[in-house]
Every structure is written in structure tokens, then in C-alpha cells.
Amino acid sequence: MNTNANIQKINKCGKLCHIFSKIIMIFCIVGTVLTTVTIFILKFFPEHIGLITDVTDTSQISIPTLVIGLCALIASAVFYFFAIRFSQKIETCETPFSEDVIKEMKLFGIVYLVVVLMFGFAGVVFTAVPSVMTIWLLINSFAYGAELQKESDELL
């Protein structure tokens, strides 16, 4: 393990992101299960909906809305899965300018783009596009840094 103070900060940041992403992913999975159960009960046993909610009039609950919510939860779980993979690489890297880190960063960026395009309807232009552009800039910067790291290692 590299003892450079900056690398240690990067590793700690990766660990924090790893823990945070796991916690959020667990919430997404629990929400997915609960939403799936609610849809199932609402579709096949609407008279029992009072067991899981105070709403007794099932016309107030929309299955399509629940399905959209379910899709959003699944997309979020997938996003956090890739966030966990990326943060694990950052947590254990000796340099952030390695091919493994860049590969995970690219995967994370692609998944982020897909999730944003699927569910970022209103905020796409003002928030999502700059975010995706920033991630893409970072990926290219890290790729260049990896080239420089490789050249530096070859010179030594």
C-alpha cells in the first residue's frame, strides 16, 4: 500500500463512498421488495391492501405509478452497484491513474448516463448534462494521468 498522504486521502474517500453506496443500495433493494409486494397484493388481492396501508380505497393507488417507482428503485440499485465497484477500486488503489480504476470509472459513467436519461426528465438540461460532462472530463483526465504514470514508471 502506498504511504503517500494524498493517496491515503483518496483511499479513505473511496472507503467512505463504498460504505455510503452500500447503505443506499440496501435501501433500494428493500424498497424494491416492498414495492413489488405492494403491486402483487394490489393486483391479485386488492381487498387485502388495508393490511399494508391505511388506504382502503384502492382507486387511490395507481399500479402504473408503483411500476415507475419500482423501475426507479431498480435503476438506483444498479447505479449504486456500479458505485460500489468503482469506490472499491479507489479504496484499494495505489494510484488513481491505473487501468482498473479508469475501467470502473467508465462503467460508472455509462450507468450514470443511462439512469439520468431514464429518470432525469425535467432536470436533464440543467443538472444531468453538466454532471455527465464532468464525469466524462474526469475519465479522460484520469486516462491521460494513467499515460503519464506509465511513462514515469518506465523512466524509473
**Predicted confidence (pLDDT) per residue in 6-18, tens digit:** 788 888 888 988 9
Range of the domain at 148: 5-155
Q: State the cell numbers at 56.
A: 382502503
Residues of the chain with pLDDT under 70: 1-3, 48-60, 120-130, 132-134, 137
The per-residue pLDDT for 35 is 93
The per-residue pLDDT for 145 is 81
Residue 109 contacts residue 139 (beta carbons within 8 Å)? yes
The per-residue pLDDT for 55 is 58
The per-residue pLDDT for 1 is 47
Residues 154 and 142: their CA atoms lie apart, in Å, by 18
The per-residue pLDDT for 143 is 81
Residue 89 contacts residue 104 (beta carbons within 8 Å)? yes
The domain tally of the chain equals 1
The per-residue pLDDT for 72 is 85
The per-residue pLDDT for 59 is 63
Residue 91 contacts residue 18 (beta carbons within 8 Å)? yes
The per-residue pLDDT for 54 is 61
**Predicted confidence (pLDDT) per residue in 58-82, tens digit:** 566 788 888 988 988 898 899 899 9
3-class secondary-structure state, position 126: helix
Q: What is the pTM of this model?
A: 0.76
